[in-house]
Structure 1
């Protein structure tokens, strides 16, 4: 019954995530239309918050509802146990279906994690060499402007376009022909963009987002939100580069030149990506104004949608709460069930855990352990004369059935 509880709780969390994740995607679509593109940092944070919540939904649902059932206490009393209800059962086919759902989710998550590790190994194998003096000087000069010089170490690497890789002292990997392939203004704009990634520690954030994506790989909204986060992250770095003196036109032209030779390592966040390039170029060359009233309406709409999403997340599990409660009681996580029963022959009491009678009493007199005879779900309580006093059946969820004594 422990497996039945775990599998059903996980399956419920995954199915619930499909609904809740769809609500989150709808929320982001509405907010992305309301928040002006001239506020890239706000857009990135809102998109990132939506994605983080979606990635955490399966684990949050499992944890919250397990805690909810655990909060029922150390013991559950059944003062008037029913003699009609059969014990809780889960068919082999039903358990197999739940196990299949859990296995598919786990296998998909493992595949995506292995893919991420393979990309990491591919980055580690890239040949690197010391950067020439003119590149070091350019990075020093631009790094001081954007506040990221001490965070990166430039190097020449076998990559198609500049990219920042690493954490505290990241490597700024530059193609060997970068200093000659692009005009000076475009080079500076691209370097400022990459230094903005280093200042924001985007490599580490993107790595965490990829692990989050592995948890909800089955949800189309997760992929859409991840792509939105990636677009807004690039837009933030574009804005930071422009804010430090890069010409929007030069940056756009540099991105277009690099687009044809972009890297295949997704976690490295190469400067130009075909999937988002047209959107970024449009934002650079046609910036939009941001009316203050629109931002206020956006905040209100975001709060309403957030409350709606939370309400949906909390209300939906109530449809199956009774069964989940019984499965929890029957599982290895469940509490001890106290049964106080009475029939014409008198009263008796039991303490049951996972279908095992751990203590018993007849007419408030404790029954020694050696006089509690249990074989499977059949239990016989022997009286002082060693003759059967009470004969009953016990279910895993703490319910009992017996023939009333005369």
Structure 2
């Protein structure tokens, strides 16, 4: 890949990562503000709002690269020049600058690769985990609770070497339970915990969590991304706690069951486990505490205005900024760049060029096409020969589609 193309790609990536660092802080602030406005008694809404913030943060690098690339691509490739020379110098790519951009790209790629390897390794360990038939009494309990829960999604119950019940799977969910589950917890606590897991299965939290973990690989470098993901995991568990209570589990009974399971907490982070993935003490406090008073209308309006202001600032940071012209020049010089049409005029008349990556591919003088054999180019020096095969136009062509020539009399 040519240095100009590498410089464009890596500079665009570096800009996207830098913009994500700034915008991620604003998104985290927006979530903190939103979490103060949404009552804790509505964990489902809190989870959806946290998910939206996290999804936007995880998508920021991709959105920035795509939007800027499209912006540069649509800024136009036709350049009309009336002056005999241009003022802007051509873009240069120094070896040191290209090395710095390459180091940033390599660091991000290595971190993302490391995160992806860890995630897929965890999935491989889950897939290889031996599963055994569950006792008939446990299967009957799960089926009864699933029917009463209104769940129509297929769910298999299996015994596995896990510390507590965990839900895995996409189309066909599997509820993994430890071998001693039927004896470790009293019947009421067992059913409360199972209702929590059924809520995970009904919401398809395993697939959602996997997508969120994949998003985390893109923004692994951002502390706000990890903080948002922890908040997301907490609200997900709180939403399933609330769902279990709505389906008939007593809050105190569920809390007791969660405490018993937490004595040996070795859940897989990618699996949906009732005893892992969130700060248990805060969860239990929210589960057992009375509903907090809803914020006043004035507080809600002020908070909503603050959220909009924060998001507006985040979008403003995505503006092209002062380096738009330089980045457009890099785009034109890269392998992605368009064919640039240059229409120029001086006292001797007009001529036109079609330039791609610093090469003149077509030319005309006074609207008369110049055959390719009369376009002589050596490096950045171009000579257009007239019909008498004498030099008609002498100019220099740069990779960004700009030209420099002396005015003809």
TM range (shorter): over 0.9
Distance 1:298 1:191 in 2: 36
Aligned-pair CA distance for 1:300: 6.2
TM-score of the superposed pair, with normalisation by structure 1: 0.94
Aligned to 2:311: 309
Aligned to 2:18: 15
Residues 198-277 of structure 1: pairs in structure 2 closer than 5 A: 198-273=201-276, 275-277=278-280
Residues 243 and 51 (structure 1), Cα distance of their counterparts in 2 relative to 1, 3 Å cut: same
TM-score of the superposed pair, with normalisation by structure 2: 0.93
Aligned-pair CA distance for 1:297: 4.4
Task: Tell whether 2:337 aligns with 1:334.
Answer: yes
Deviates more, 1:279-288 or 1:38-47: 279-288
| 8 Å Cα contact 1:392-1:401 kept in structure 2 | yes
Distance 1:393 1:239 in 2: 71
CA offset digits 1:80-120 (Å, max 9, x no partner): 35344332111111112112212211221111111111000
Aligned-pair CA distance for 1:122: 0.7
| 8 Å Cα contact 2:233-2:278 kept in structure 1 | no
Aligned residues: 404
Residues 2-401 of structure 1: pairs in structure 2 closer than 5 A: 2-73=5-76, 75-80=77-82, 82-148=85-151, 150-273=153-276, 275-291=278-294, 293=296, 297-298=299-300, 301-302=303-304, 304-306=306-308, 308-315=310-317, 316-401=319-404
Distance 1:22 1:189 in 2: 38
Distance 2:88 2:247 in 1: 73
Aligned-pair CA distance for 1:292: 6.6
Distance 2:260 2:132 in 1: 24
| 8 Å Cα contact 2:251-2:287 kept in structure 1 | yes
| 8 Å Cα contact 1:359-1:369 kept in structure 2 | yes
Residues 274 and 14 (structure 1), Cα distance of their counterparts in 2 relative to 1, 3 Å cut: closer
| 8 Å Cα contact 1:109-1:215 kept in structure 2 | yes
Distance 1:299 1:212 in 2: 31
Residues 337 and 258 (structure 1), Cα distance of their counterparts in 2 relative to 1, 3 Å cut: same
